[in-house]
């Protein structure tokens, strides 16, 4: 599954919407990225996202905070950005330092600017099928399934991982599309046997090649949301490719889709906040 190609199409459409918004209102969509500390991977991710913003006609604002920033200081920064009318979307690059209450920081982001889909309100909206912004990686996964005409209805979907911004929401999205969903995690007994039953497998555990090729059901669709050192995903790509009907590579699969959805949702937020389009009821 060529996530780079699908993401490129989404970003091109997003750029057209951003340009139209600017022509109509004089407002350029703006995404504020908050980076705490100088973790090399986080710095790289933020740089990549800012470069994609420029290509999509989205203004990016980088807010760099020292590693010793406290929870209260981070919350204050995010609250200020939430109240800034020139900012339409807010991204807190995570993980933050272990001394910071990450959930408290996420909840300081105004729901209408939560274009990364990390707040509890966004999570509830995903669970109840209400208007709101999707967590970007799960949203990207669902868009990939649609792009390749994979209908989850009636399928057995297995999600390996239960994080609040990836594993849990993607399972809820699959459930909303009438898949039968099983969550697996570090305490799961008989993981290989469960994985072998998956028509759709989402790997989001953060361990290189944790899912073995021989455990992939023949004809399954495999979405590898992992990214580990050495450009290695959570799935044994070579082994899984021999059995799967469709599979995402790492890199070039889920990753580009995550950024594409982030940019798309930023423009959507800008359209709603400027009144260019009406926000759906409950958003």
pLDDT in tens, 28-40: 999 999 999 998 8
Residue 116 falls in the annotated catalytic set = yes
Q: Is 168 a catalytic residue?
A: no
Work out the widest C-alpha separation in the chain, in whole angstroms: 57
User: Which DSSP state fits 177?
Assistant: T
- 140 shares a domain with 70: no
Which positions ≥6 away from 118 have C-beta within 8 Å?
92, 94, 106, 109, 135, 164, 165
Q: What CATH number has the domain bearing residue 76? A: 3.40.50.10860
* 280 belongs to a structural domain: no
Residue 150 belongs to domain spanning: 136-252
Mean pLDDT of 172-183: 97
Same-domain check for residues 181 and 104: no
Q: Which of 93, 114, 199, 224 is labelled catalytic?
A: 93
In a domain, 37, yes or no: yes
Determine, yes or no, domain membership for 127.
no
Listed residue (105, 99, 247, 122) closest to 173, CA to CA? 122
- What three-state secondary structure class fits 14? helix
Same domain, 214 and 226: yes
From the candidates 49, 155, 168, 217, give the one annotated as an active-site residue. Answer: 49
Instruction: Please report, for the chain, how many H helices and E strands are present, in that order.
Output: 10, 8
Could you give the CA distance from residue 6 to residue 105 in angstroms, rounded to a whole number?
32
248: its two tokens: 């995402």
Per-residue pLDDT of 14-30, as tens digits, reads: 999 999 999 999 999 99
Residue 119 is assigned to a structural domain of this protein: no
Please tell me whether the peptide bond between 251 and the residue prior to it is cis, using omega within 30 degrees of 0.
yes
| pTM over the 0.85 mark | yes
98 lies in the same domain as 141: no
Structural domain contains residue 142 = yes
Q: What CATH number did the domain enclosing 235 receive?
A: 3.40.50.720
Q: State yes or no: is 93 an active-site residue.
A: yes
From 114, 116, 234, 236, active-site residue: 116
């Amino acid at each position: 599954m060529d996530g780079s190609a699908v993401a490129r199409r989404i970003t091109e459409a997003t750029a057209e919407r951003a340009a139209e918004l600017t022509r109509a209102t004089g407002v350029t969509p703006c995404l504020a990225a908050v980076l705490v500390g100088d973790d090399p991977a986080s710095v790289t991710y933020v740089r990549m996202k800012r470069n994609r913003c420029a290509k999509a006609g989205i203004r990016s604002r980088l807010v760099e905070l020292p590693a010793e920033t406290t929870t209260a200081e981070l919350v204050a920064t995010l609250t200020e950005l939430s109240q800034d009318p020139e900012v339409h979307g807010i991204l807190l690059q995570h993980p933050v330092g272990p001394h910071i209450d990450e959930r408290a920081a996420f909840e300081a982001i105004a729901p209408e600017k939560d274009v990364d889909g990390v707040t509890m309100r966004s999570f509830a909206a995903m669970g109840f099928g209400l208007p709101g912004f999707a967590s970007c990686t799960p949203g990207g996964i669902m868009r990939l399934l649609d792009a390749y005409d994979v209908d989850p209805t009636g399928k057995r979907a297995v999600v390996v991982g239960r994080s609040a911004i990836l594993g849990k929401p993607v399972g809820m999205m699959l459930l909303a599309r009438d898949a039968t969903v099983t969550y697996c995690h570090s305490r799961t007994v008989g993981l290989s046997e469960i994985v072998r039953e998956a028509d759709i497998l989402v790997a989001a555990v953060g361990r290189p090649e944790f899912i073995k090729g021989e455990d992939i059901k023949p004809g399954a669709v495999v979405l590898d949301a992992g990214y580990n050192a050495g450009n290695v995903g959570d799935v044994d790509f070579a082994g899984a490719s021999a059995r799967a009907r469709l599979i995402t590579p790492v890199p070039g699969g889920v990753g580009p889709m995550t950024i594409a959805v982030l940019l798309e949702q930023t423009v959507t937020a800008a359209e709603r906040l400027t009144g260019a389009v009406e926000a759906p009821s409950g958003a």
